[in-house]
Amino acid sequence: MNEPVVVRGLTKTFYDESRGEVRAVQAIDFECRAGEIFGLLGANGAGKTTTLRMLSTILAPTAGSAALLGYDIVRDPGRVRQCLGFYSASTALYPKLTARETIEFFARINQLPEKKVPGRVDYLIERFGITTYAGARVDRLSTGMKQKVSIARTIAHDPPILIFDEPTVGLDVLNALELQNMIRELRGQGKTILFSTHIMSEAEKLCDRIAIIHNGRILACDTLANLRMSTGMHYLEDIFVHYVKGQA
Amino acid sequence: MFNARDIRVLYKRELRCAMRERSIIINSIVLQIVLYPALLWLVYTGISFVQGQTEGFTSRIMLRGIPGEHQLLRQELEKSERIAITESHDPEADLRAGSLDLLMEFTPAAAEAAAQEGNFQVRLTYDESKDRSSMALERVSELIDRYRDHFLDQQGRRFGLTSQQLQPIWVASKNVASSRQMGQFILGRMLPVFLIIMLNIGCMYPAIDSTAGEREKSTWETTLTYATSRANIIAAKYLYVSTIAAVAGILNLTAMLLTVRSVMAPLLAGRAEDFTFRIALSSLPLILLVDILLALFVAAGMMILASFARNFKEGQSLVSPFYIAVFLPVIFLQAPGLELTPAMALVPVANVTLVFRDAISGIYNWPLIGVTLAVEAVCILLLLWLATAILRHEDYVIGSYGGSFGKFLKEKLLRSGRK
């Protein structure tokens, strides 16, 4: 139980008026190790976002448990969020704040000690090349600029665990590549990264270990090399189809 | 449960964003300062203009059966620049058609009134649905009164009596209200209405922007990932919306007080010196308290409703019924004789506006003020309790609930209460 992220029997059931009871996530188990990129690979509606939303305490689990750095997501949500940076396509920035104000605000509200805030903000602005537009409002920035500010605000409080939920959705190839490089760099700094995607090539390139998730269940979880070995297939796409069809 | 430091950080963020949002600046600040004083000035100037136009019309009247003893009255009518004597074959039809303003018929007096030779009854036929006709009635009545006084004066002189000696009772009225009290009376009628309107308008945009607006801009999920409790997030939003609402109310009051003389000038023509538009300094704390209570109440109500919307447009339609509901009690405040009584002190919104009206006039009924403040505080607490109960539902928090506030109340809160 020493891994930064430990998930045990995590389950989420929704009630939908038209579909009735929907079991979005069904008793999943996994662990993420320090300094690795752990990929959740699944089609749309597989349960990736629901899982990550539970880990980030946005949603409460119906059953099971999860702990981040030993903090339980139900009993200690504030601590969990403090040691976590959450980035997704649906976590937009506040359009009326400037880039600098955005990073400052997230550093403060995510409990970075006040003394460290100015130095941390300056470092991130320089690190991400935001200097020239640090004083510009977010609603006047280009998509690429916003993406940099978004990552900077995600790590503003220097969290040890980062969640990236389908981060490249809506980005062009160059911006997507730049984002992948940044994620690699964060791994290099020792961060534990949970990365969800439905793009096979992205998972292949980035993830140290991959969990294939389908219909709310984890069908396989291993390194790409081991997945290749156990299925006898080379391409992740084929491996993915193999497991999904196997379940069907 | 609450963390003052986190609430301060969040509150500053909300205010900073709001101060850069054009719609909030316009509706919560600029309109409060400029719009209503300007609008009122326009309306009052318009009313004065229309009144002037009506007064400028010549009244077309027809005389029927004027007796020889009173030909002087005919001369007086003819001399008047605002009256033209005309003829008609069918006076009643012409009155209805608007081509005649008044028919003046003389008939010999009957019964005791006929005791004196030359006594006559005058019947004035007019159409009250027409301004010109009503104006003709007013003019002719005044002229007849003057003529009668003059006639009586002449008759009295024949018997060696003056008109003063003939009149047993003289009516002389004296207004004991000072110019300041007169001004406070007018302010007491006007300001509560505008406070409610402007506070509502000032509150509406931030209330929607901080709830439905976040969903529309996809920042709600970002907000939910803060390393602070949801109670702190909601408290900061509530404080921010209440602040803007209270500031909107105060700005409007200040603007109205500073401009009321100029705004009312068209209506007070000739009587301006009878009115002093000033509020006692001692009433300011109570007025400020009323403003804050109203802001807290309106902000809570609007935020609850707006939070069920997915975008700004939906938010506006959800909040509008609340806006009207808050405004309704204020309409009754215009009823003459309505005062702050124990029963009225129990009616939310109306009670605080009555306290406000009294405070402007320097009247402080402390027991009833106490009841009013308690009632208002209970209402605010009820709304906050409702907000807390709603926030316990995850589908509402994450924005996946698709129903309205009424449906939510029925399906989730009342049903779970019954369980």
Between chains, do A92 and B218 touch, taking CB under 8 Å as contact?
Answer: yes
A109 part of contact set with chain B, CB < 8 Å: yes
Tell me how close the Cα of B286 comes to any Cα of chain A, in angstroms.
36
- Within 8 A by CB and 6+ apart from B161, the residues are none
Same domain flag for A164 and A244? yes
Between chains, do A60 and B394 touch, taking CB under 8 Å as contact?
Answer: yes
Residue B35's pLDDT is 77
Between chains, do A90 and B221 touch, taking CB under 8 Å as contact?
Answer: yes
Instruction: Compare CB distances from A96 to B21, B224, B394 and report the shortest one's residue.
Output: B21
- Token pair of B42 as six digits: 């326009």
Tell me how close the Cα of A134 comes to any Cα of chain B, in angstroms.
16
What is d(CA B357, CA A29) in angstroms, rounded to the nearest whole number? 66
A12 part of contact set with chain B, CB < 8 Å: no
Per residue in B215-242, pLDDT tens?
898 899 899 999 999 889 999 999 999 9
Same domain flag for A246 and A231? yes
Residue B137's pLDDT is 93
- In chain B, what residues touch A90 (CB-CB under 8 Å)? 218, 221
Q: Residue B73 sits in which domain range?
A: 58-163
Tell me how close the Cα of A231 comes to any Cα of chain B, in angstroms.
38
Q: Which of A84-88, A213-217, B17-21, B337-341 has the weakest average pLDDT?
A: B337-341
Same domain flag for B11 and B77? no
Same domain flag for B206 and B158? no
Same domain flag for A51 and A140? no
The count of domains in chain A is 2
Q: Is residue A24 part of a domain?
A: yes
Length of chain B: 419
Same domain flag for A23 and A64? yes
Q: Is A122 helix (H, G, I), strand (E, B) or coil?
A: helix
- In chain A, what residues touch B228 (CB-CB under 8 Å)? 78, 81, 109, 111
What is d(CA B298, CA B383) in angstroms, rounded to the nearest whole number? 10
Mean pLDDT of chain B: 85
Region B137-166: mean pLDDT is 84
- The better pLDDT of the pair B333, A154 is held by A154
Q: Is residue B221 part of a domain?
A: yes
Length of chain A: 248
Annotate B366-382 with three-state secondary structure.
Answer: HHHHHHHHHHHHHHHHH
A59 part of contact set with chain B, CB < 8 Å: yes
The count of domains in chain B is 2
Residue A248's pLDDT is 57
Q: Is A155 helix (H, G, I), strand (E, B) or coil?
A: coil
A90 part of contact set with chain B, CB < 8 Å: yes
- Model confidence at B269, in pLDDT bands (50, 70, 90)? low
Q: Is residue B251 part of a domain?
A: yes
Residue B5: closest C-alpha in chain A: A109
* ipTM for the assembly: 0.91
Tell me how close the Cα of B14 comes to any Cα of chain A, in angstroms.
10
Residue B113's pLDDT is 66
Q: What is the DSSP string of B276-345?
A: -----GGGHHHHHHHHHHHHHHHHHHHHHHHTT-SSHHHHHHHHHHHHHHHHHHHHHTTSTT----TTGG
Same domain flag for A146 and A166? no
Task: Report which of A29, A6, A3, A32 is spatially closest to residue A207, judged by C-alpha positions.
Answer: A32
In the predicted structure, residue B419 carries a pLDDT above the cut 50: no
Same domain flag for B132 and B195? no
Q: Residue A119 sits in which domain range?
A: 93-159
Per residue in B351-409, pLDDT tens?
998 898 888 888 899 999 999 999 999 999 999 888 888 887 887 777 777 777 888 88
Same domain flag for A78 and A190? yes
Per residue in B289-329, pLDDT tens?
999 999 999 999 999 999 888 888 999 999 999 988 888 87
In the predicted structure, residue B418 carries a pLDDT above the cut 60: no
Q: What CATH number should be reported for the domain holding residue A240?
A: 3.40.50.300
Using the structure block, give the residue that is written with the tokens 């002389």. Answer: B172
Between chains, do A97 and B218 touch, taking CB under 8 Å as contact?
Answer: no
Q: Is residue A88 part of a domain?
A: no
B404 part of contact set with chain A, CB < 8 Å: no
Same domain flag for A77 and A105? no
Same domain flag for A165 and A74? yes
- Model confidence at B120, in pLDDT bands (50, 70, 90)? confident
For the stretch B280-290, what's the b/e string if a residue is b when 16 or more beta carbons lie within 10 angstroms of its beta carbon? eeebeebbebb
Residue A1's pLDDT is 52
Last residue of a domain, one of B103, B137, B163: B163
Same domain flag for B267 and B228? yes
Between chains, do A81 and B398 touch, taking CB under 8 Å as contact?
Answer: no
Q: What is the DSSP string of B228-292?
A: S-HHHHHHHHHHHHHHHHHHHHHHHHHHHHHHHHHHHTTTTTTTGGG------GGGHHHHHHHHH
Series of mean pLDDT values for 10-residue runs along chain A (248 residues) = 90 83 93 95 93 94 96 94 90 93 97 96 95 96 91 96 91 89 94 94 94 96 95 94 84
A95 part of contact set with chain B, CB < 8 Å: yes
